[in-house]
Amino acid sequence: DTAVSQTPKYLVTQMGNDKSIKCEQNLGHDTMYWYKQDSKKFLKIMFSYNNKELIINETVPNRFSPKSPDKAHLNLHINSLELGDSAVYFCASNDGGAYNEQFFGPGTRLTVL
């Protein structure tokens, strides 16, 4: 059973388009995240939701809009895609335990042409 899943795995699109990435976790966790990994492999937090409520928004352009229809899902919609949005996007969820361990999805590689 996949714990944190993302779709699609690869996304190739033209500049100016709008696209969405979906994330689902079946771990029963309350908190979910989106991270961005750039071409140099650097990972940075974008958003976090706790039980459908936004709790972190790290100076991400407002072209990026997360949506959490329920605590098991956190989707990322991106408007007017730019070349600089090309990256790997990781979804994660947090078990809320003593370590606050995060479990990551397989990533979505977005390429904007």
Partner 1 sequence: GNSVTQMEGPVTLSEEAFLTINCTYTATGYPSLFWYVQYPGEGLQLLLKATKADDKGSNKGFEATYRKETTSFHLEKGSVQVSDSAVYFCALSDRTAASKLTFGKGITLSVRP
Long-range contacts of 97-104 (CB under 8 A, 24+ apart): 102/33, 103/3, 103/4, 103/25, 103/27, 103/29, 104/4, 104/35
Beta carbon of residue 13, minimum distance to partner 1 (angstroms, whole number): 21
Should residue 1 be labelled a site residue for partner 1 when binding is judged by CB under 8 A? no
Show the binding pattern over residues 12-41: x = contacts partner 1 (CB under 8 A), - = does not: -------------------x-x-x----xx
Should residue 59 be labelled a site residue for partner 1 when binding is judged by CB under 8 A? no
40 CB-near residues (< 8 Å, 6+ apart):
none
Which residue type is seen at 89?
Y
Among 25, 68, 90, 110, binds partner 1 (CB under 8 A): 90
Binding residues for partner 1, rule: CB under 8 A, are 31, 33, 35, 40-45, 48, 50, 55-56, 90, 92, 94, 96, 98-107
